[in-house]
Amino acid sequence: MLAALAVIMVLAIIFCVYKSIQAIRTMNSIEKMLDSAIKGDFNEKSFSEERFSKLESQFADYLKSSSLSALNVKNDRDKIKTLISDISHQTKTPIANLLLHSELLQESGLDDEQKESLDAITSEAEKLRFLVDALVKLSRLENGILSLDPRPDDLGRLLKEISVSMRKKAEAKGLYLNVTADSEQAAFDYKWTLEAVSNIVDNAIKYTEKGGIDIRFKSSEMFSCISIKDTGIGIAEEDIPRIFARFERLRSSRDKEGVGIGLYLSREIIRNEGGYIKVNSKMGEGSEFLIYLKKTV
């Protein structure tokens, strides 16, 4: 009796040791497969029930599928990159020629009706140029072709540049543009953040008929905040989530120039820098766009 019990105990110990070794071997195998997948050099191998567990086979199938998906994504991005380059290249010259000939025609003796038609052509050509440029930038951001490079920099310098570039457009509408550009440090990509903030300021000028725009910094513990406040037509509370949608044009803005992509591009740029945009607005009382960028340590 004791001998039989001893044999059973020995067999149980052997079985436990065997299962433990098998589990360790399986985990080691899975770890190696995962390491290969992370490095991007995972390849399908022959798996047999004698050598590998069902878990290993399923995990290998998953990694194989993931590797193929990653390869397909890379191929698609390469195709998109080529397409974007072709669109940008093929449209740049025709649009530039349209604008050039429009300028030449402006200097010729046109009657009022012809001038009106020419102004419409120029406006639509400018809109087309902005649309193509914006779509190219968006596609590069969304497909990872172009990545932002946030670095410690002075937001005050950026606001001063915006003040210079936007002041003439504001004054042409009889608006003031007040910019308080104290030194403020944050982590941001200068070129792309300039694009994002300029789009929002341009939007403020577009939807303001009297008064003007105030741009200044607001204190925040974790973020550097740029406040862009206008005295324009304002935005209904229920419409605020919609203004950042691609190609979205609110009913109140249908009579204004634009293609409905500037704010979407601005949001994507700021989001890719680890920041965000907040909007406070009421109809008839103007709007305030708050751009939050990470402070530098």
Q: What is the CATH number of the domain that holds 122?
A: 1.10.287
Q: How far does Cα 187 stand from its chain's mean position?
A: 16
Q: How confident is the model at residue 116 (pLDDT cuts 50, 70, 90)?
A: confident
Per-residue confidence (pLDDT) for residue 149, from 0 to 100 = 86
Q: Which helix (H) or strand (E) holds 139?
A: helix 112-142
Among 142, 173, 194, the domain-final residue is 142
Q: Structural domain of residue 155, as residue ranges?
A: 151-294
Is 62 within the bounds of a domain?
Answer: no
Is 206 within the bounds of a domain?
Answer: yes
Using the predicted structure, report yes or no on whether residue 109 has a pLDDT greater than 70: yes
How far apart, in Å, are the Cα atoms of 120 and each of 109, 128, 228?
17, 12, 31
Is 50 within the bounds of a domain?
Answer: no
Give pLDDT tens digits for 216-267. Answer: 998 778 899 999 999 998 888 888 888 887 656 555 554 555 556 788 888 9
β-pair partners for 179: 215
How far apart (Å, rounded) are the C-alpha atoms in residues 238 and 43? 51
Dihedral sign of CA atoms 15, 17, 22, 23 in order: positive
Is 179 within the bounds of a domain?
Answer: yes
Is 169 within the bounds of a domain?
Answer: yes
Is 40 within the bounds of a domain?
Answer: no
Residues 265 and 242 in one domain: yes
Higher pLDDT, 254 or 195: 195
- The domain total for the chain is 3
Helix (H, G, I), strand (E, B) or coil at 176: strand
Using the predicted structure, report yes or no on whether residue 86 has a pLDDT greater than 90: no
Is 138 within the bounds of a domain?
Answer: yes
Q: What is the DSSP string of 235-280?
A: --GGGGGGTTSTT---GGGTTS---S-HHHHHHHHHHHTT-EEEEE
With contact defined as beta carbons under 8 Å apart, do 191 and 285 qualify?
no
β-pair partners for 151: 188
Per-residue confidence (pLDDT) for residue 50, from 0 to 100 = 44
Residues 98 and 15 in one domain: no
How far apart (Å, rounded) are the C-alpha atoms in residues 297 and 40? 34
Give pLDDT tens digits for 171-193. Answer: 999 999 999 888 888 999 998 89
Residues 231 and 281 in one domain: yes
β-pair partners for 154: 185
